[in-house]
């Protein structure tokens, strides 16, 4: 099969499109013929070696967490799927989605939303589960609460705005000037242009501040967080780790980190929201698998609005 592999850590130039052996499945796994994947920040952070203390130095590696495709083989212990099913979900750490086939545990995938193409579905799993788990699991979001999403036009942010609205919150989105209309169209009740206004100097107070781009901290946002408000971030910076540890045992404002945990239950929940028309995808660009290096370079530029999809012809 064709896949994009790395044999060392480095720039986007270490990504090589070539023939590799098709994976074999274990009893609890599915063999998925992948039609699409997508680019997430963690993919190129792994590629650059920023997480090699976890990923190690064994090569070659196939990266790419997100995938959408068709089940072509099921293991003897698989109970939820059959051959021919259209599915979406996540590859096992550190990836495997940048390939024509992947062997994936059945608890990391779900049936694909019927109203999404493979390319659209492949942009959902990692970022939407991150948004859901940040707001629901860490933020304990409740209907009627005031929620601010920093980075509302990014990969995680676009889903955070929509999920918060679906759960009944009053949502403020923070983004750049050119993305104000997009964030409004996603359902935000209010939008702040960070180039014109610093949301930490605002008069409004929030129950939850979700920093989907990891640019601020609890200390920077304390003034606009309610006395029992929760600050949630995707970036495990030293400052945030200390704040999270300290506030866990103290009354008042909390700092929390979200570490996305892929699971079929959350994918099924998101599928329901998508099919009900409460969540839509936003794709900035689509690249063929052969041009993955260009897709990674564009993602690293941090200019993408929404997600970057990867089409896999097979």
The mean pLDDT of 9-21, rounded to a whole number, is 96
In this structure, are 23 and 111 located in the same domain?
A: yes
Question: Does a structural domain hold residue 143?
Answer: yes
In 10 A of CB 255, how many CB atoms? 26
Task: Give the residue from 100, 102, 138 showing the smallest Cα distance to 18.
Answer: 100
Residues 116 and 137 reside in one and the same domain = no
* 272 within a domain of the structure (yes/no): no
First to last CA, the chain: 9
Number of domains comprising the chain? 2
Whole-angstrom Cα distance, residue 242 to residue 255? Answer: 9
| Residues 278-282, mean pLDDT to the nearest whole number | 97
Q: Report if residue 271 sits inside a domain.
A: no
Same domain, 99 and 118: yes
Query: Degrees (nearest 5) of the Cα angle 7, 9, 12?
Result: 95
144 and 214 share a domain?
A: yes
Determine, yes or no, domain membership for 274: no
Same domain? For 211 and 176 the reply is: yes
Q: What is the pLDDT of residue 54?
A: 87
- Provide the CATH number for the domain around residue 75: 3.90.180.10
Q: What is the distance between the alpha carbons of residues 186 and 163, in angstroms, rounded to a whole number?
A: 10
Percentage of residues of the chain with pLDDT beyond 90: 89
pLDDT, tens only, 52-69:
888 999 999 999 999 999
Q: Is the per-residue pLDDT at 314 higher than 80?
A: no
pLDDT above 90: residue 303: no
Residues 110 and 141 in one domain: no
Q: State the Cα–Cα distance between residues 173 and 180, nearest whole angstrom.
A: 9
Q: Do both 131 and 120 map to the same domain?
A: no
Question: What residues contact residue 90 under an 8 Å CB cut-off, 6+ apart?
Answer: 65, 66, 67, 97, 104, 108, 109, 125, 126, 129, 262
Q: Which of 40-44, 215-219, 222-226 has the lowest mean pLDDT?
A: 215-219
2 forms beta bridges with 19
Do 115 and 162 belong to one domain? no
Give the Cβ contact number of residue 138 at 10 Å: 21
Which residue range forms the structural domain that includes residue 29? Answer: 2-124+281-311
Residue 108 and residue 215 share a domain: no
Task: Tell me, yes or no, whether 115 and 136 share the same domain.
Answer: no
**Is residue 223, in this structure, part of any structural domain at all?**
yes
Note the pLDDT tens digit of each residue in 197-206. Answer: 999 999 999 9
Q: Are residues 108 and 131 in the same domain?
A: no
Please tell me whether residues 198 and 110 are part of one structural domain.
no
Q: Closest Cα to residue 130, out of 155, 97, 101, 167?
A: 155
Which pLDDT tens digit goes with each residue over 229-268? Answer: 999 999 888 888 888 898 888 899 999 999 999 999 999 9
User: pLDDT tens digits, residue range 169-194?
Assistant: 999 999 999 999 999 999 999 999 99
Average pLDDT, the chain: 95
The CA–CA distances, whole Å, from 115 to 121, 123, 161, 185, 197 equal: 9, 14, 20, 19, 37
Taking only the tens place, the pLDDT of each residue in 89-133 is: 999 988 999 999 999 999 999 999 999 999 999 999 999 999 999
pLDDT of residue 52: 87
């Amino acid at each position: 099969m064709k896949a994009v592999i790395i044999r060392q850590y480095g720039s986007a130039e270490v990504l090589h499109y070539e023939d590799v052996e098709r994976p074999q499945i274990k009893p609890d796994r599915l063999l998925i013929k992948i039609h699409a994947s997508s680019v997430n920040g963690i993919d190129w952070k792994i590629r650059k070696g920023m997480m090699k203390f976890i990923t190690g130095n064994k090569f070659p590696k196939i990266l790419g967490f997100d995938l959408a495709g068709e089940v072509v083989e099921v293991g003897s212990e698989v109970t939820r799927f059959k051959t021919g099913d259209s599915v979406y979900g996540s590859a096992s750490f550190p990836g495997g989605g940048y390939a024509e086939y992947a062997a994936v545990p059945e608890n990391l995938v779900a049936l694909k939303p019927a109203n999404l193409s493979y390319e659209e579905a492949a942009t959902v799993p990692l970022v939407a589960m991150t948004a859901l788990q940040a707001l629901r699991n860490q933020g304990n979001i409740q209907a009627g609460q005031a929620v601010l999403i920093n980075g509302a036009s990014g990969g995680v942010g676009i889903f955070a705005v929509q999920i918060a609205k679906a759960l009944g919150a009053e949502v403020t989105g923070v983004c750049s000037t050119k993305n104000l209309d997009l964030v409004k169209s996603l359902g935000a009740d209010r939008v702040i242009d960070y180039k014109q206004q610093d949301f930490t100097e605002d008069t409004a107070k929030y129950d939850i501040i979700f920093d989907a781009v990891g640019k601020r901290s609890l200390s920077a946002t304390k003034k606009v967080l309610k006395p029992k408000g929760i600050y949630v971030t995707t970036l495990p910076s030293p400052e945030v780790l200390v704040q999270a540890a300290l506030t866990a045992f103290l009354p008042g404002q909390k700092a929390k980190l979200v570490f996305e945990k892929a699971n079929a239950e959350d994918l099924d929940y998101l599928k329901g929201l998508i099919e009900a028309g409460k969540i839509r995808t936003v794709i900035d660009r689509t690249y063929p698998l052969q041009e993955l290096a260009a897709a990674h370079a564009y993602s690293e530029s941090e200019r993408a609005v929404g997600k970057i999809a990867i089409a896999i012809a097979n």
